[in-house]
Amino acid sequence: MIRFHNTLSGREEEFQPLDPGEVRVYTCGPTVYDLPHIGNFRAYVFEDLLLRFLRYSGFKTVQVMNLTDVDDKTIRGARASGVSLREYTEPFVRAFFSGLALLRIRPADHYPRATEHIPEMVAIIKGLLDKGVAYRKDGSIYFSIEKFPAYGRLSGINPDDLRITSRIGARLESDEYEKDSARDFALWKAPREGEPSWETDIGPGRPGWHIECSAMSSKYLGPSFDIHCGGVDNIFPHHENEIAQSEAYFEKPFVRYWLHCHHLVVDGEKMAKSKGNFYTLRDLVEARGVDPSALRMFLVGTHYRKVLNFTLESLEQSAAALKRIKDFVYELENRIFPAAKTDASLDLIACAERTFREGMEDDLNVSAALTGLFDLIRKANPLIQGKKIGLNEAKRLLDFVYRVDEVLAVLPERRDLEISDDLRAKIEERERARKSRDWAAADRLRRELLENGVVLEDTKDGVRWKIEKKTGSN
Ligand code: AMP
Ligand code: ZN
């Protein structure tokens, strides 16, 4: 049974999708006004972990991640650079996608861009005007939070408690604001000199940030869906406003489970593009030679609802943990295991698998989940050294590690342990030759194996093999 901490209720709840077998997820994507930093990638890696775990648990998933390519910040950036919005945002869109690939984040099913969904936004705004929930003022259109009594349910703010009753009817143009400014927010902004503007049924202008996500989520996932994610900074005002817009318009519950990851911080401060205290992937991977899979290990390794403090030392610790898993895989892939059937580690696998599943089912508690894997590595290693494990079991151990890696996605591609019986027999024959000190035969067999692409390495723990990659293809 999977349980998630739902921001809406403030507690852990049992997870049940609306349609059995399929989970529909919306994840707030990047505002493409600058290079993404690793704080942003913490959010995307957390969402990837969630989706991978849902699939590991047997669900089909549909994920939508929007690209905010029109808002206050992108417009400001484009104006300052004297280029069109499209020209300005494009390099940041590319950097975002290359970062996803580098961190092995599985692509979402849809990446809608705000600028390509203006008609969908206009339809909702029009509907909200018709229902009397939105109103016009000076060419802009605002959502009246007074007309939506459930306003504040997600973030816990209560417009009355905040002594802003007198300010209800006070309006906000800017896309982002602090909690104590819960006020009517802009759905549609009147055209301004030097800003992009669309001619639409509701008049000329451009959308506010929040309406983008209500329009794009309903288009691809329907008016009600299962999970909505983002960083905690999205809770207010962005997600609060999404709920208000979507539920007022569709008159249906919007989202069942809200999952928010905490921030990646540097020296206690949120890593943010606007603060300039950020590392991009390029800073770490290209300039400092950080291994992207170690970075991914660092980002997934801390529970998503905890603050994650970024330091180069903690990155090294994650790299060391990853190395322990990789060494174990190397051990299993490169040794010659006897063909004999054995089952010394079957209990260990069953136990580790249970620990992994139960840890992850508990609101994606990765560190608890991984204790099972590390325990297995500690106990299986002596069995391997003691030659108590056969080929069938080595494969089962690898099956398990790679099942875990479908969720973690930190290991190199799996190697095929199969080599032909013929080559296996030759390796064993060479072992016998070596033991009887028949060096000429041993060398001849090594050469023959090499001609077939099998490279042998003699170690103190016995012979290892690997298939040499064919070169010369380019
Ligand atoms: P933005 O590009 O600012 O719209 O943010 C894209 C995503 O990254 C959102 O889900 C944010 O909540 C998330 N995010 C931004 N900064 C951080 C951070 N320092 N740590 C974790 N997530 C963040
Ligand atoms: Zn959003």
Please say if the pLDDT value at position 201 is more than 50: yes
**Protein residue with least CA distance to atom 10, ligand 1:** 230
Q: Are 430 and 442 in contact (CB under 8 A)?
A: yes
Please say if the pLDDT value at position 172 is more than 90: no
Whether 230 is in the pocket of ligand 1, judged by its Cβ within 6 Å, is yes
The residue that leads in pLDDT, 176 or 180, is 176
**Considering the chain, what is the average pLDDT of its residues?**
92
Whether 152 is in the pocket of ligand 1, judged by its Cβ within 6 Å, is no
- Residue 27's DSSP bridge partners are 65, 229
Atom of ligand 1 nearest to the CA of 43: 22
Closest CA to 172 of 158, 162, 186: 186
pLDDT 10s digits, 355-399: 999 999 999 999 999 999 999 999 999 999 888 999 899 999 999
Residue-level pLDDT at 179: 62
Please say if the pLDDT value at position 471 is more than 50: no
Cα 285 to ligand 2 centroid, rounded to whole Å: 28
Atom of ligand 1 nearest to the CA of 278: 19
- In this structure, the strands spanning 184-189 and 140-143 are antiparallel
How large a percentage of the chain has pLDDT more than 90?
Answer: 77
Cα 461 to ligand 1 centroid, rounded to whole Å: 48
Question: Helix H segments across 147-230?
Answer: 209-221
Whether 260 is in the pocket of ligand 1, judged by its Cβ within 6 Å, is no
What whole-number distance in Å separates Cα of residue 172 and Cα of residue 142? 8
pLDDT 10s digits, 421-470: 788 888 889 988 998 999 999 999 999 999 988 888 887 777 888 877 65
Residue-level pLDDT at 161: 66
Please say if the pLDDT value at position 160 is more than 80: no
pLDDT category at 181 given cuts 50, 70, 90 is: low
Please say if the pLDDT value at position 184 is more than 60: yes
**Protein residue with least CA distance to atom 5, ligand 1:** 30
The residue that leads in pLDDT, 457 or 290, is 290
Q: Which pTM was predicted?
A: 0.91
**Protein residue with least CA distance to atom 21, ligand 1:** 263
**Protein residue with least CA distance to atom 12, ligand 1:** 231
Lowest mean pLDDT among 229-238, 300-309, 330-339: 330-339
The residue that leads in pLDDT, 105 or 177, is 105
What ligand has the least distance to the C-alpha of 299?
1
* CATH domain 3-261 topology: Rossmann fold (3.40.50)
Query: What does DSSP assign to residue 364?
Result: S
Q: Probe ligand 1: pick from 40, 71, 213, max atoms within 8 Å of CB?
A: 40
Please say if the pLDDT value at position 163 is more than 60: no
Backbone φ, ψ for residue 348 (5° rounding): -60, -40
pLDDT 10s digits, 330-359: 889 888 888 788 998 999 999 999 999 999
What whole-number distance in Å separates Cα of residue 281 and Cα of residue 278? 10
Whether 117 is in the pocket of ligand 1, judged by its Cβ within 6 Å, is no
Cα 106 to ligand 1 centroid, rounded to whole Å: 18
Residue with tokens 């903690």: 314
Cα 231 to ligand 1 centroid, rounded to whole Å: 5
What whole-number distance in Å separates Cα of residue 442 and Cα of residue 434? 6
Ramachandran bin of 201, using left for φ above 0, alpha for ψ from -120 to 50, beta for the remaining angles: alpha
Backbone φ, ψ for residue 433 (5° rounding): -60, -40
Q: Specify burial of residue 428 (Cβ count, 10 A radius: 0-12, 13-18, 19+).
A: middle
- The domain locations on the chain are 3-261, 281-408, 421-467
What whole-number distance in Å separates Cα of residue 454 and Cα of residue 292? 29
Residue-level pLDDT at 339: 79
* CATH domain 281-408 topology: Isoleucyl-tRNA Synthetase; Domain 1 (1.10.730)
Amino acid at 403: R
